[in-house]
Amino acid sequence: MKKKISVRKKRSKKSLLKSTQQESAPISSSAEGLSVPTHLNINTLAAICSLTDRQIRNLETQRVVTRDETGEFPTIDCLRNMILYYKNMNSANDVLRLRKAQADKAELELDQIRGGLLSEDDAKEMITYALAPIRKSLEELPTRLCAKCNPTDPEHAYNVLRNDLDQIYENAQRDYQDAINLAKE
């Protein structure tokens, strides 16, 4: 048997208090003219919470929601418990994410200690060492090629080649910086 309590017209605080004391079932929050049942069956509770009946039964198994002696769910108690359950679940997920991040950081530090990872400075030094011969060869190109490219005006050819080479350096530097920034994220 479902009991519905509704507020039809504005009543004084005394009459509201008196009417609530006379009711045997707890009164749920209600707005003027809105009737809220004090008990819900599983289908209604599932629909209100956008869950399936199966999910409600799982919550019941976990004792998040409970049925009363009539076999129905007390509205206020169930909704309050579900809100707390999901709020705590979100907090637990936040804690798990934090612990995972801390474990990942510790693993990276351990790898660095073991020599599996390079420090940023060591990585930059290795890259510079590996690219130095390539840079030297590129720097010599405009001088070596200018006379071959434009025998009548080698200075113009030199300037064109030098500008193109400078553009290649700028692009490489920008890409390198983007890669470092991405690695830090």
Q: Would the pLDDT of 110 be above 50?
A: yes
> In this predicted structure, what is the pLDDT of residue 34?
65
Per cent of the chain over pLDDT 70 is 80
User: C-alpha dihedral over 34, 35, 40, 44, to 10 degrees?
Assistant: -50
Instruction: Over range 69-76, report the average pLDDT.
Output: 90
Residue given tokens 């209100």 in the structure block: 48
Across the chain, what does the average pLDDT equal? 79
Q: Would the pLDDT of 151 be above 60?
A: yes
Contacting residues for 138 by C-beta, under 8 A, at least 6 apart = 165, 168
| pTM of the predicted model over 0.75 | no
> In this predicted structure, what is the pLDDT of residue 76?
87
Amino acid at 84: L
Instruction: Over range 126-150, report the average pLDDT.
Output: 89
Q: Using the CB atoms, write b or e for 123-139: b if 16+ within 10 Å.
A: eeeeeeeeeeeeeeeee
> In this predicted structure, what is the pLDDT of residue 112?
73
For the chain, helix, strand, coil in percent to 5 are 70, 5, 25
Instruction: Over range 107-124, report the average pLDDT.
Output: 77
Beta bridge partners of 39: 74
Question: Residue 10 — pLDDT band, cuts 50, 70, 90?
Answer: very low
Beta bridge partners of 37: 4
